[in-house]
Structure 1
Amino acid sequence: MSATSPPTSCRRSWRGVQPSTVTPTATCCPASRLHRLHGEDRRAALEAWRRDGGVAVTSFGTLRWAVHQELPVEQVGCVVVDEAHYIKNPAAKRSRRTADILDRVPRVLLMTGTPLANRIDEFCALVQQARPDLLEDLVESPTAHDFRQAVAPVYLRRNQEDVLTELPELVEVDEWVPMSAVDQGVYREAVEAGNFMAMRQAACTQGASSGKLRRLCEIVAEAEANGRRVIVYSHFREVLAQVAALLPGPVFGPLTGSVPPTERQRIIDDFTAAPGGAALVAQIVAAGVGLNIQAASVVVICEPQLTPTTEWQAIARAHRMGQLRSVQVHRLLSDEGVDERLTEILARKRAVFDDFARVSELAHSAPEAFDITETDLAREVVAAERERLLG
Structure 2
Amino acid sequence: MAQARELYEDATRLHDAARALLADHARALEAVRAAHAPLRDASVAEELASLPLGRLKDVTEGRLRLAAVQAAGFTSVGEVHEASRHRLRQIPGVGAQTADQALAAARQLARAVGETVSVRIDVDRPEPRTTALVTALYRLVEAGPDLTRAVQTAERYEKSLDELLPAARPATGRLRLAFTGRHRRDAARAALAGLRELTARAAEADVPLRLAQATADLLREPASEIEPWVDFEVRSAEYYSRLAEICAQPTDLAAAEGFVPSEVAERVHAQPLDDTHRRVSLRGYQAFGARFALAQRRVVLGDEMGLGKTVQAIAALAHLAAEGHTHFLVVCPAGVLINWTREIGARSTLRALPVHGPDRRDAYAEWRERGGVAVTTFDVLHTLPDGDGDGDGDGDGDGGPPPGMLVVDEAHYVKNPDTRRARSVAVWTARCDRVLFLTGTPMENRVEEFRALVRHLRPRLVAELGERPGTAGPHAFRRAVAPAYLRRNQKDVLAELPGLIQVDAWEELSAADRDAYRAAVAAGNFMAMRRAAYADPETSAKLRRLRELVAEAAANGLKAVVFSYFRDVLTVVREALGDDGSGPVFGPLSGGVPAARRQRLVDDFTAAGGHAVLLCQIEAGGVGLNLQAASVVVLCEPQIKPTLEHQAVARAHRMGQVRAVQVHRLLAADSVDERLLHILRNKNRLFDAYARRSDTAEASPDAVDVSDDGLARRIIEEEQTRLALRPRDAPEPSHRL
TM range (shorter): 0.5 to 0.7
Cα separation, 2, equivalents of 1:240 and 1:370: 27
**Aligned-pair RMSD on alpha carbons?**
2.7
Judge conservation of contact 2:589–2:620 (CA < 8 Å) in 1.
yes
Where does residue 552 of structure 2 map in the other structure? Answer: 222
Deviations 1:67-111 (A, max 9, x none): xxxxxxxxxxxxxxxxxxxxxxxxxxxxxxxxxxxxxxxxxxxxx
C-alpha contact (below 8 Å) 1:229/1:275 kept by paired residues: no
- The alpha-carbon deviation at position 240 of structure 1 amounts to 0.5
Q: For residues 138-217 of structure 1, what are the structure 2 equivalents within 5 Å? A: 168-217=498-547
| Cα-to-partner distance string for 1:282-309 (whole Å, 9 max, x where unaligned) | 0001110111011110000010100111
Cα separation, 2, equivalents of 1:214 and 1:337: 18
Inter-partner Cα distance in structure 1 for 2:608 and 2:567: 23
Separation in 2 of the partners of 1:352 and 1:381? 24
* Structure 2: distance between partners of 1:297 and 1:228: 6
Aligned to 1:341: 675
Measured after TM superposition, the shift of residue 206 of structure 1 is 1.9
For 1:230 and 1:355, the matched residues in 2 are separated by: 26
* Distance across 1 between alignment mates of 2:705 and 2:565: 22
Give the structure-1-normalised TM-score.
0.54
The structure showing larger relative contact order (alpha-carbon pairs under 8 Å, at least 6 residues apart) is 1
Instruction: Give distance in 2, aligned partners of 1:262 and 1:242.
Output: 25
Which of 379, 383, 389 aligns to 2:717? It is 383
Distance 1:358 1:273 in 2: 31
Q: 1:370 to 1:244 in 2, by over 3 A?
A: closer
Q: Does 1:251 align with 2:585?
A: yes
Cross-structure match for 2:653: 319
Q: Is the 8 A contact 1:254 1:283 kept in 2?
A: yes
1:370, distance to aligned residue in structure 2 (A): 9.7
CA distance in 2, matches of 1:242, 1:262: 25
Equivalent residue letter for 1:270: D
CA contact (8 A) 2:534 2:543 kept: yes
Q: Which residue of 2 aligns with 1:306?
A: 640
* Greater mean alpha carbon deviation, residues 262-271 or residues 273-282: 273-282
Structure 2: segments with no counterpart, 5+ residues: 1-123, 125-222, 227-232, 237-494, 695-702, 726-737
When residues 275 and 336 of structure 1 are mapped into structure 2, their CA distance, relative to the original with a 3 A threshold, is farther
Residues 1:179 and 1:277: Cα distance change in structure 2 (over 3 Å): farther
Deviations 1:168-226 (A, max 9, x none): 42100000111111110111111111100000000023213211000000000000011
1:272 to 590, 606, 611: 606
> Hey, what's the Cα distance between the residues in 1 that align with 2:586 and 2:718?
38
Q: Is the 8 A contact 2:585 2:612 kept in 1?
A: yes
1:239 to 551, 555, 569: 569
Q: CA deviation at 1:276?
A: 3.6
Letter in 2 for 1:265: Q
Distance 1:354 1:182 in 2: 37
Sort the Cα spacing of 1:183 and 1:359 in 2 relative to 1 into closer, same or farther, 3 A: closer
Are residues 357 and 178 of structure 1, via their aligned partners in 2, closer, same or farther at CA, if it must alter by over 3 Å?
Answer: same
- Does structure 2 conserve the Cα–Cα contact (< 8 Å) formed by 1:167 and 1:320? no
- Please give the alpha-carbon distance, in whole angstroms, between the structure 2 residues aligned to 1:355 and 1:225: 36
Q: Distance in 1 between matches of 2:683 and 2:587?
A: 31
State the shift of 1:352 in Å: 4.9
Q: How many residues align?
A: 225
In 2 relative to 1, CA 309–349 (structure 1 residues): closer, same or farther, beyond 3 Å?
farther
One-letter amino acid of the counterpart of residue 514, structure 2: Q
How far apart are the structure 1 equivalents of 2:526 and 2:610?
A: 36
How far does the alpha carbon of each residue in 1:240-279 deviate from its partner, in whole angstroms, 9 at most, with x for none?
0000110024210000011111101110111112244421
C-alpha distance in 2 between matches for 1:305 and 1:217? 21
| Distance in structure 2 (CA, Å) of the matches to 1:269 and 1:224 | 19
Give 3-state SS (helix, strand or coil) of 1:294's partner.
coil
Shift of the alpha carbon at 1:355? 6.7
1: distance between equivalents of 2:704 and 2:720?
Answer: 24
Q: Determine helix, strand or coil for the equivalent of 1:349.
A: coil
Give deviations 1:346-370, integer Å, cap 9, x for gaps: 213361534753689xxxxxxxx99
- Identical-residue share of aligned pairs (%): 57
Tell me how far apart the structure 2 counterparts of residues 212 and 193 of structure 1 sit (CA, whole Å): 23
Spell out the pairing of 1:49-198 with structure 2 (5 A cutoff). 168-198=498-528
Structure 1 residue runs of 5 or longer lacking an equivalent are 1-112, 114-144, 149-158, 361-368
SS of match in other structure, 1:173: strand
Distance 1:186 1:359 in 2: 38
**What is the alpha-carbon distance in structure 1 between the residues aligned to residue 639 and residue 687 of structure 2?**
15
Q: Show the counterpart of 1:297.
A: 631
Which residue of structure 1 aligns with residue 379 of structure 2? none
Q: Residue 147 of structure 2 corresponds to which residue in structure 1? A: none
Mapped contact 2:641–2:705 kept (Cα < 8 A) = no
Q: Distance in 1 between matches of 2:718 and 2:540?
A: 23
SS of equivalent residue, structure 2 residue 631 = strand
The amino acid that maps onto 2:535 is T
How far did 1:227 drift? 0.6
Read off the aligned partner of 2:512 and give its amino acid letter: V
Report the CA distance shift for 1:307/1:350 in structure 2 as closer, same or farther (over 3 A): farther
SS of structure 1 residue aligned to 2:598: helix
Mapping for residues 357-368 of structure 1, pairs under 5 Å: 357=691
Alignment CA distance shift 1:183-1:350 (3 Å) = farther
Q: What is the identity, as a one-letter code, of the residue corresponding to 1:180?
A: S
Structure 1 residues 184 and 318, CA gap change in structure 2 (3 angstroms): same
Q: Quote how far apart the aligned CAs of 1:372 are.
A: 3.9
Query: Structure 1's 185 and 358: CA in aligned 2 closer, same or farther, altered over 3 A?
Result: closer
State the distance in 2 between where 1:354 and 1:202 align. 29
Does the C-alpha gap of structure 1 residues 376 and 180 become closer, same or farther in structure 2, counting only changes over 3 Å? same
**Larger helix percent:** 2
Q: Which amino acid aligns with 2:634?
A: V
* Shift in CA distance, 200/182, structure 1 to aligned 2, threshold 3 Å: same
Q: Deviations over 1:46-82 (max 9, x none)?
A: xxxxxxxxxxxxxxxxxxxxxxxxxxxxxxxxxxxxx
- TM-score (norm. length: structure 2): 0.29
Whether contact under 8 Å (2:512, 2:535) holds in the other structure is: no
Between structure 1 and structure 2, the one with the greater Rg is: 2
- Flag the structure with higher strand content: 1
Dislocated runs of 4+, deviation >6 Å: none
Corresponding residue SS for 2:546: helix
Question: What residue in structure 1 maps to residue 388 of structure 2?
Answer: none
The answer to whether residue 634 in structure 2 is matched with residue 331 in structure 1 is: no
